[in-house]
Amino acid sequence: MRSEVYVRHEVATSLSLLAMTSLETFDMPTTRMHKLVSHLAALRIGKLPDSVLSNARWCFLDSLGCGLFGADKEWTRILVQEIDSDGAQGECSVFGSSRRAAAPAAALCNGTASHGFELDDLLDEAIVHPGAIVIPAALAAAEARGASGADIVLGIVAGYEMLDRVGRALGMEPAHRGFHKTSLAGPLGAAVAAGIVMKLSESQLNASIGLACSTASGIKSFAVGEGGGMMKRMHCGRAAESGVRMAQLAARGFSGPPNAVESRFGLLEVFGGAGANAELIDRDIGERWAVENVYVKVYPCCSWIQASVQQLVALRGRSPLNAADIQRIQIGTNSYARRINGTVAPSDTMGAQYSIPYCAALALTGDPSDPAMYAEGAIDNAARRELAQRVELVPDDEMEAAYPRHYGSRVRLELKNGDVRESKVLDPHGMPADPVTETERVEKFTRLASKALPAEQVNRIIEIVSALERQSSIETLSQLLNPVIARSR
């Protein structure tokens, strides 16, 4: 007679084998993520609303502008040098450079450039930066396989959807614990964007997402007031790189967990914890489009700060004020912004772009739209630093309740002559509730891209992107992203 222990062992072994057989033989239950992937894989240009197509084109143009502007920044140059040292060759553009690289490497460099100066777009409720991840991934995948403009547009729409839905499903706990939500959800958005451009099957897309979940990373130590260095600049680049690589691996048959987002130890549980909400992954599919709800930044600073800067510029009037004429500055905002963005004396550019006190002082005494005002030489201005010391951050119940759907603040400016000026903004200009105009979008792109390219190329890029989905090839566009003028074909 077999012992009881042996029988239990045999039964357990049989159950394990049965479970393994079930996974191999039977279909896994359809999850919310699988439903979303099925929807995204079925997207077709002719079936998308005109407003979705138009906004996808604008997102593409805005991201290109940010990337071209960031191409000559030190962090981007270092990455390009690192890629060059590998000696690898490829077919994909590197912004502002005449060289070409393999798709993952190009996505790394271009994503870093695009996120390199706090000018790239944001999905506000999800708290993720989509353009600096999705656009470099879609562009690199398109150049690697000779895809069309329509393929890029579909990749953009799908990638933004993925980032938005995963970002919102993760909830607020990751951010409060110190994770950078952009680089947690980013690899999934990039994998889907690249996979759609590459025309992966649904099963391959699901595999790329499963793989991308294990590349999610990124902590917000850049925001604690001790100097941010260059780390945050690279978060979008690494996410874009990871997504492209995972899509390429999935195309070759590299498999991933079938349900790495919603399962036990999946992305939502591990990072989102009790605040995660998987229902947001597939809610209102086909009715709510992420590309129609994008926050286009006006100032090169953290999103939470834009409302305060906007109001202070308006309250001061057309001309900057003298710091000596200002008695008091009080800014009421949410507790998260007060905790993360309260550094009074930033030590580097990253710190300045994340400091409400510094940005408030700059808004009153200088030009907060000028990227040069955040350079390490500019942030040492003695009068501005002294004024930043007098900025008071106070709790505001209305702004607390409105966050994160609104990035507002309440501002009170007192001058030494007794003049008191006050205002309140729930949604800064550029957010979906107060969107930028088409003219403003073009002006922003032109201003940023002109730092890297001649006017002729800048205007030609605008022309091509305005009809992106009708471009049978993107080779001309790829050439125009280089600093040497390309002849039109």
* Residue range 173-184, pLDDT digits in tens: 999 999 999 999
What whole-number distance in Å separates Cα of residue 77 and Cα of residue 83?
A: 10
Residues of the chain with CATH 1.10.4100.10: 32-292
3-state secondary structure of 107: helix
Instruction: Give yes or no for residue 371 having a pLDDT over 90.
Output: yes
| pLDDT tens-digit readout, 379-392 | 999 999 999 999 99
Count of other CB atoms within 10 angstroms of residue 440: 14
The token pair that represents 370 in the structure block = 């000028």
What whole-number distance in Å separates Cα of residue 73 and Cα of residue 112?
A: 10
296-305 CB burial, b ≥16 within 10 A, e <16 = bbbbbbbbbb
What whole-number distance in Å separates Cα of residue 425 and Cα of residue 367?
A: 20
* Average pLDDT rounded to a whole number, residues 416-429: 97
pLDDT at position 404 is: 86
Residues of the chain with CATH 3.30.1330.120: 303-425
Confidence of residue 318 (pLDDT cuts 50, 70, 90): very high
What percent of the chain is modeled with pLDDT above 90? 85
Instruction: Give yes or no for residue 333 having a pLDDT over 70.
Output: yes
pLDDT at position 376 is: 82
| pLDDT tens-digit readout, 113-170 | 999 999 999 999 999 999 999 999 999 999 999 999 999 999 999 999 999 999 999 9
* Average pLDDT rounded to a whole number, residues 369-373: 95
Q: Which stretches of 76-121 are assigned E, i.e. beta strand?
A: 92-93, 100-101
- Reference 428, options 313, 289, 329; nearest CA is 313
**Has domain 303-425 been given CATH number 3.30.1330.120?**
yes
pLDDT at position 377 is: 86
Secondary element (H or E) of residue 124: none
- How, if at all, do strands 100-101 and 326-333 pair? unpaired
Q: Are 429 and 310 in contact (CB under 8 A)?
A: yes
**Has domain 32-292 been given CATH number 3.30.1300.10?**
no
What whole-number distance in Å separates Cα of residue 429 and Cα of residue 103?
A: 35
**C-alpha dihedral sign at 311, 316, 319, 323:** negative
Instruction: Give yes or no for residue 10 having a pLDDT over 70.
Output: no
Q: Is the peptide bond before 404 cis (omega within 30 degrees of 0)?
A: yes
What whole-number distance in Å separates Cα of residue 470 and Cα of residue 463?
A: 12
Secondary element (H or E) of residue 84: helix 74-86
What whole-number distance in Å separates Cα of residue 425 and Cα of residue 309?
A: 11
444-477 CB burial, b ≥16 within 10 A, e <16 = bbbebbeebbeeebbebbbebbeebbebeebeeb
pLDDT at position 15 is: 36
What whole-number distance in Å separates Cα of residue 383 and Cα of residue 340?
A: 24
What whole-number distance in Å separates Cα of residue 127 and Cα of residue 216?
A: 15
**C-alpha dihedral sign at 13, 19, 20, 22:** positive
Confidence of residue 28 (pLDDT cuts 50, 70, 90): low
* Average pLDDT rounded to a whole number, residues 288-294: 97
Q: What is the mean pLDDT of the chain?
A: 92
| pLDDT tens-digit readout, 31-80 | 999 999 999 999 999 999 999 999 999 999 999 999 999 999 999 999 99
- Reference 123, options 252, 243, 295; nearest CA is 295
AA identity, residue 470: R
What is the DSSP code string of 307-318? Answer: HHHHHHHHHH-S
- Reference 315, options 232, 220, 228, 425; nearest CA is 425
> Among 166-170, 225-229, 466-470, where is mean pLDDT lowest?
225-229
Give the predicted TM-score (pTM) of the model: 0.91
